[in-house]
Amino acid sequence: MRVALVNPNWSFEGSIYFGCREPHLPLEFGYAKALLERDGHVAEILDAQLLDLSDAALLARVREFRPDMTVVTTAPSYLFWRCCPPELRVPQAVVRLLRPVAGTLVGVGPHSSTTPRAALAKLGVDVVVQGECEEPIALLASGRDWCSIPSLCHARDGAVRVQGGPHAGTFTDLPALSWPDGWIARHRHHHHRFDAPPAGPGAEVEASRGCPYSCTFCAKENFRDRYRRRPVEVVMREIDGLIAQGVEYVYFIDEIFLPNRPLLEALAERPVRFGVQTRIDIWKPEMIALLGRAGCVSIEAGVESLTAEGRQALDKDCRLSTDELTERLILARRHVAFVQANLIDAGDDDPETVRAWRDRLRQHGVWANDPVPLFPYPGSPDYRRLWGLPDDRAWERALDHYLAAHGRFSDLQDERPRPLAELEAAHG
């Protein structure tokens, strides 16, 4: 079978989208391609965002490839599945564009993982995958009856079938990925790096997947939930390949980059810098020092609230006091060029206390954001607390609630977001 794996050329105009807008490597499609080729299929990734393909160019590329099956994602790379655009406007347009040449159309991403019926209907595809998508894509290409494949949603005999729950891949057995030289040469973005301008290409890598914590705001219940760690030798084989292609910085997309001495000691031997997202309370001083020696130049650490009660309300399961967290952040800054502490606007922190804390951190070189309003992503505990399990209108409900509750928005948003129905009106 010939399988096209399509990442749209994203537009975020009018969206509440919180993630980075630069292109990133589509790791989920990299794994899927490897599994498909292992099984004897022909697979091609068409990343319209990284390659900056127009609609006409994307259509021409897919037509030339002549796929039997085309997979379209609803979020720009695994890195942003937990904070994806709520609307499906862009993938809807791609599905409509490619329908005449696509073969069987498959939808994957956070929307189909959390609200499969709604995603199937809105996208207009033949089938959607719930959960982590690499292995289900390979099963779809195998020719098996869809009714025998778990974690799918499709129509059969006039009825929509939702088969089982979201898929969680083994992950630890996935191979080291490799990317075309031309793709790496175009990847000039260094995600969340602020210590120096890029001199060479950047890339994204995954050392672990999932998180052992269950913070109320994190939308990982339907994908990338259970914590798993790749073998260090596989991760380093992938990074060595990237270094050979000229990459000087990698960003670990891991939900939480936990202390891993063998990985850090291996990185310390390589000419590469890297960034991570983590929580500072799980790092002991000696491991923070090793993190710096290994080449880490960017830490994004979730503190969320300045009170123990506030952190408990968010189920952070944090055992350090605010003063201890502060000292740990300041220590990290002595070893790592950029350290960011994230705060969430949960309504519990005194504004004057927040201002004084941010000022203190700033004096030590640590950047802390102004508290960001929470968006209750479908698939997060916060969503369930408000409305129960997500139904077919979950994304509309969450966005309407957010727009009504907040008069101001994130620093990342340069305009007032528009309602979902308005964004999707032209494509639904």
Q: How far is CA 76 from CA 90, 154, 290, in A?
A: 11, 23, 32
Q: Is 35:45 a contact under the CB 8 Å cutoff? A: no
User: Is there a single domain that holds both residue 31 and residue 89?
Assistant: yes
Work out how many domains the chain is built from and give that number: 2
pLDDT score at 107: 98
Out of 329, 353, 373, a domain closes at 373
As a whole number of angstroms, the distance between CA 108 and CA 422 comes to: 23
Q: Are 121 and 155 in contact (CB under 8 A)?
A: no
SS3 readout for 326-366: HHHHHHHHHHCCEEEEEEEECCCCCHHHHHHHHHHHHHCCC
b/e per residue 175-192 (b: at least 16 CB within 10 A): ebbebeeebbeebebbbb
* 415 in any annotated domain: no
Are 215 and 116 part of one and the same domain? Answer: no
Give pLDDT, residue 421: 84
- For residues 243 and 324, membership in a common domain is answered with yes
**CATH code of residue 210:** 3.80.30.20
Residue 426 counted as domain residue = no
Distances (CA, A) of 174 to 32, 208, 296: 9, 11, 25
Q: Is residue 175 part of a domain?
A: no
Domain boundary among 373, 403, 422: 373
Which of 306, 273, 252, 320 has its CA nearest to residue 79?
252
3-state DSSP assignment of residue 190:
coil
Does residue 157 share a domain with residue 201? no
Domain that holds residue 227: 181-373
Query: Does some domain include residue 171?
Result: no
Question: Is residue 6 within 8 Å of residue 94, measured between CB atoms?
Answer: yes
Q: Specify if 225 maps to a domain.
A: yes
Rounded Cα distance, 357 and 360, in Å: 5
Is the domain of 188 the same as that of 229? yes
Alpha carbon 377 to chain centroid, angstroms: 13
The whole-angstrom separation of Cα 423 and Cα 428 is: 10
Euclidean distance between CA atoms 145 and 274, whole angstroms? 43
Domain boundary among 328, 346, 373: 373
Strand spans (E) along 55-213: 69-73, 104-108, 127-129, 152-156, 159-163, 202-205, 208-209
Residue 283 lies in a domain: yes
One digit per residue, the tens of pLDDT, for the chain of length 428 reads 999 999 999 999 989 998 999 999 999 999 999 999 999 999 999 999 999 999 999 999 999 999 999 999 999 999 999 999 999 999 999 999 999 999 999 999 999 999 999 999 999 999 999 999 999 999 999 999 999 999 999 999 999 999 999 999 999 999 999 999 999 999 999 999 999 999 999 999 999 999 999 999 999 999 999 999 999 999 999 999 999 999 999 999 999 999 999 999 999 999 999 999 999 999 999 999 999 999 999 999 999 999 999 999 999 999 999 999 999 999 999 999 999 999 998 778 999 999 999 999 999 999 999 898 889 999 999 999 999 999 999 999 999 999 888 765 555 555 678 888 888 876 65
Domain contains 266? yes
Domain membership of residue 396 (yes or no) is no
Residues 256 and 369 in one domain: yes
| Statement to judge: residues 149 and 272 lie in one domain | no
For residue 427, the model assigns a pLDDT of 63
Do 190 and 89 share a domain, yes or no? no
Q: Are residues 82 and 129 in the same domain?
A: yes
Distance in angstroms (rounded) separating the CA atoms of residues 425 and 142: 35
Question: Hey, which residues does 274 pair with through a beta bridge?
Answer: 250, 296
- Same domain for 349 and 215: yes
Say if residue 189 is in the same domain as residue 324.
Answer: yes
Please report, for the domain that includes residue 113, its CATH number. 3.40.50.2300
Q: Are residues 113 and 220 in the same domain?
A: no
